[in-house]
Structure 1
């Protein structure tokens, strides 16, 4: 995979994990419950919406399942 492709993959994962985290915090359900919904909604969420969610969640580094959330630049934090 090219570096560009890897970065795009990380950004896609970022979108889905932030949506999962947001729904988990806002709706009070387990992240696993909404995993498939977040996967379906991820392509529809605008970059602006994802930025708002990231700000609202105070820029989390890990999702509720302890998976790293890629940063806006596509980088990934090291595992805890």
Structure 2
């Protein structure tokens, strides 16, 4: 396991200590879990953005195809 040195503002360090004690875990474990949660959150956000972009590309393609079908139907009626 790698070791990191992190400098925190005093108020944040106090909050970490307080919350870690409340959960009966070490500050290191609290910080580790916090980082894991942030990474999961960012991963999910990136995943949602990719899905949205793919959905928009598919939507644009569907609109184009529907327009082409509409033109074909119009030509067949005339």
Q: What's the TM-score once normalised by structure 2's chain length?
A: 0.34
Structure ranking higher in helix proportion: 2
Q: What's the TM-score once normalised by structure 1's chain length?
A: 0.33
Larger radius of gyration between Structure 1 and Structure 2? 2
Higher relative contact order (CA 8 A, sep 6+): 1
